[in-house]
Amino acid sequence: MLKPATTIWALVFAFALGATAARADVCPPVTPPNDVRVDGVTKQFPRPDPDPVPKPADWTQIEVELGSDIYVHVQNLKAALDCQKLLTPKKELVLFLKETPIGNLVGTQPGPLDKDGNGFLHFKLVRATSGDDSKNVWLPILGRPSFGRREVSVSIGFADQYPVTSTAKKLMFQTLPPIEFAIGLVFMVALFGGFCYAVCRSNILRDAPVEGVDGPGAFSLSKAQSAVWFFVILGATC
């Protein structure tokens, strides 16, 4: 006959085992539940006013750049959110671009779920203010920028796991916005032209004239180096 203490511990173990199994059914250890799927992405949050409301599969391919807002439509988002509540420590649902988690882009709900548990997650495409991780995850997308557009797949998931299945149209990512580039180029050309004029009309790059010697002073190596680095750093930050 089992002792009472042994019986109690057996019941506790069985209860814990059952709870773990139930949790595994709701939230698999690798990804959110298999029926969670991304099926569309748009730049404007669809309102329920138009009739009929366009389906995610009918949404056109969108063009984005850094700073853009996107709304990702997730089938059975409720299951992913329920799974998130069971995780310890808590994990956030983040954006995946080119199957790479962008850890600082955490999804927020712009509106309630529909009757089937589907819903939207909102993301703003911004880089983290600091940290090598942000640079590394954006490198496959923003590296070697050009005026062309790059197709980038989009999905969601937990940062340390795999993205959910996505059938959404790929984003057309503009790595080098032409308007901002043109404004920066005009600014740099005008600034450099003004600097060249100042060099010709003043001693901005010269040492003070030597007493008893006619003519302007000699060019200063330190001042010239400072000018070069000024334009290099300013151009890199534009």
Tell whether 135 and 147 lie within a shared domain: yes
Supply the mean pLDDT for the chain: 79
226 vs 7, more confident = 226
Tell whether 88 and 168 lie within a shared domain: yes
Tell whether 116 and 43 lie within a shared domain: yes
The count of domains in the chain is 2
Tell whether 38 and 85 lie within a shared domain: yes
Which one, of 92, 69, 96, lies nearest residue 81 by Cα?
Answer: 92
What pLDDT does 23 receive? 43
The residue type of 79 is: A
Q: Flag whether pLDDT at 20 surpasses 60.
A: no
The residue type of 38 is: V
In a domain, 55, yes or no: yes
Tell whether 172 and 184 lie within a shared domain: no
- Token couple for 34: 């298999």
What pLDDT does 176 receive? 79
- Token couple for 139: 């490198």
In a domain, 19, yes or no: no
In a domain, 16, yes or no: no
Tell whether 84 and 163 lie within a shared domain: yes
What pLDDT does 10 receive? 44
Per the CB < 8 A criterion, the answer to whether 183 and 176 are in contact is no
Give this prediction's pTM. Answer: 0.69
- Overall average pLDDT of the 78-92 stretch: 85
Tell whether 107 and 167 lie within a shared domain: yes
Tell whether 215 and 159 lie within a shared domain: no
User: How many CB atoms are located within 10 Å of the residue 69 CB?
Assistant: 15
Domain stop point among 148, 176, 204? 176
Phi, psi of 136 (to 5 degrees): -65, -40
Tell whether 168 and 225 lie within a shared domain: no
Q: Flag whether pLDDT at 19 surpasses 50.
A: no
Residue ranges making up the domain that contains 146: 24-176
Residue 103, classed as helix, strand or coil, is: strand
Confidence of residue 156 (pLDDT cuts 50, 70, 90): very high
Tell whether 58 and 130 lie within a shared domain: yes
